[in-house]
Structures are given as C-alpha cells and as structure tokens.
Amino acid sequence: MAEFVSRISVVCFAASYLVALLCEISRLLFRSGIRGAVMIGFAAAGLIAHTLFLVWRAANEPAVPLSSAYDWYLLAAWLLAGGSLWLTVANPRTPIGLFMLPMVLGLIGAAQVSSRSPFPQSPATQVWGAIHGSFNLAASVAVAFGAIAGMMWLIQAGRLARKQAPIQGFRMPSLEKLARFTGRSLDIAAWAAAAGFVSGLVLNAVNRRQGLLETIPWTDPVVLRMGLVVAWLLAAAILVRTTARRAEGPRTAAMLSLVSLGVLTLSILWGLFGPTRHGVPPRAVVVESHS
C-alpha cells in the first residue's frame, strides 16, 4: 500500500481533473447518459489521489500542509477540487466543474513553478506561521468561490436579460442564491485576508524579538502586494454591503468578485516570478534550527 501511495504523482490527479473538465466541456456539445458518472468518477479519483499525495508528503517529508509555497498551492487546489466535487454531486445539472476545475489545474500549475523549500520555522514562529498561512489560504479559496459564483451570476443574468430558455445541460443556480454566495464569499475573503495580513505582521514581530530579523520588511514586494490585496478585498466587501439594498447590488458584487480574483491572480503571479524575501530563511540560525 505504502509503495502504491508513494508512486502517486501530481500528474495522476492533474490528469484525472483534466478528464473531468473535458467531460464538463462536452456537456455543451452532446448529450450522454453516463457522462455524469464518468465525470464524478474521475473527479473523485483525482481527489483521492490528491489527498493521498498530500498525506504522503506530510508523513514522509518535512512538508506538512502550508510548510512551503508548493504545498500551499496544492492544498488550495485540494480544497477547490473537494468543493467542486461536493457541489457537482449536490447540483448535477449545474456545470460547476467547468468553472472550478480550471482554477484547480491553475493552482496545481502554480505549485509546479513555486518554491518547494520549506518556509523558515522555529518553535516560536511555527504557530504564527500556520495561522498566517491558514488565513491566507481561506481568503484565496473564498475569493475563488466568490468569483465563480459571480461569473455564474453574470451568465445567468445575461440569459434572463436576453429572455432565453436555459441551455440543456448548462443550468445555472438562481440569481438569488448566487448573489448570496458571492456576498458571503467576499466577506469571508476580506476578513480572512485581513487576519492573514495581521498574523503575518505578528509573525515578523516575533521573528524580530527573537533576533531572527533585524527589521520588519515593510517594503518587501510580498508584504506590499498582500497589503494591496487586503485593502482591495476590504474595500470590495464594504462596497458590496453598501450596495446590497440597491437593485444594482448583485451585479456590483459579481463584478467585484471577478476583479478580486484578478487582483489575487496578479498577486500570485507577482509572488511566483517577482523578487521577494518572503519565506526565505532570515538567518542561518533559523535554517539550523529547522534542519
């Protein structure tokens, strides 16, 4: 069993998700009685392989979830894949996977080009590091869910405005449900991102007090971009709340959720390819203590 699990690679679950996505796309082209079962089968197989892969890494390598950028992206992809499967089973006539699986594959792709080096840890900073990573993860996943709901809202509203009957196999949830989901996702994303940012500051302060950092890196590009993302998400959440009792409110929320995903994507790309000291061991002592 252990040997079998050790042979699971990223390609295994990425390929399963890709087949599930192709099944979703084929909904638009032709009807099939067994497609739903095939799609759920591949998505479930991918999720099981993905879970086993993460568990194996946590058990056999110094790579518990969130311990490196690589693991962080894979965990975010796992959460989205799980959400996608759950929503697909609960709403079989809605093409949830068509929206969520590309994000899952995108995050797996981001993991492949991100650093696998563990974030610096010491007993004192481990807790704050986990809190910081968890809040950022929650914020990112909430932004993704919100953007998908927002995109669906715009598609559904476009269909209703054009006065067209729903396309076979492409039935969207109601505007009421989507608007509620979008608003809540943006709320969660804003508060989680703010908590993630604050916990990051605390983490830096702890590092400094322990002599692991000379100064808090306020001007580090990652700190700046995270600050911008938090500011944007808070502003978006406030805007959604203030327009909630206006007729344009749901459309505004849908647009803001999509822009939030764009802001987050840019931030991730910046993190992947831009200069940063984020996650780099501040001093040799930390590396030693970790190793």
Burial string for 104-143 (b: 16+ CB within 10 Å, else e) reads bbbbbebbeebeeebbbbbeebeebbbbbbbbbbbbbbbb
Burial class, 215, CB count within 10 angstroms (exposed 0-12 / middle 13-18 / buried 19+): exposed
Residue 7 or 245: the one with the smaller Cβ distance to another protein is 245
Minimal distance, residue 10 CB to another protein, in Å: 37
The token pair that represents 289 in the structure block? 């203590």
Residue 32 or 126: the one with the smaller Cβ distance to another protein is 32
Residue 172 or 261: the one with the smaller Cβ distance to another protein is 172
- x/- contact string, 18-57, with another protein (CB under 8 A)? -------------x-x------------------------
Minimal distance, residue 237 CB to another protein, in Å: 17
- What whole-number distance in Å separates Cα of residue 247 and Cα of residue 7? 54
Query: Site for another protein (CB under 8 A): which residue of 6, 9, 168, 242?
Result: 168
- What whole-number distance in Å separates Cα of residue 27 and Cα of residue 169? 6
Minimal distance, residue 85 CB to another protein, in Å: 22
Query: Site for another protein (CB under 8 A): which residue of 1, 2, 29, 247?
Result: 247
- x/- contact string, 109-148, with another protein (CB under 8 A)? ----------------------------------------
Contact flag: residue 83 with another protein (CB under 8 A): no
Question: Could you say which DSSP state residue 288 is in?
Answer: H
CA distance readout (Å), 105 to 81, 112, 172, 209: 9, 11, 22, 40
Minimal distance, residue 286 CB to another protein, in Å: 51
The answer to whether the beta carbons of residues 85 and 44 sit under 8 Å apart is: yes
Contact flag: residue 61 with another protein (CB under 8 A): no
Query: Site for another protein (CB under 8 A): which residue of 10, 249, 259, 270?
Result: 249
- Interface with another protein in residues 148-167 (CB under 8 A): 156, 159-161, 163-166
Minimal distance, residue 160 CB to another protein, in Å: 5
Residue with the two structure tokens 């399963």: 16
Q: In sequence order, what DSSP letters do the residues of 209-276 get, joined into one string? A: HTTS-SS--TT-HHHHHHHHHHHHHHHHHHHHHHTTTSTTHHHHHHHHHHHHHHHHHHHHHHHHHS--
Residues that bind another protein (CB under 8 A): 31, 33, 156, 159-161, 163-166, 168, 172-177, 243-251
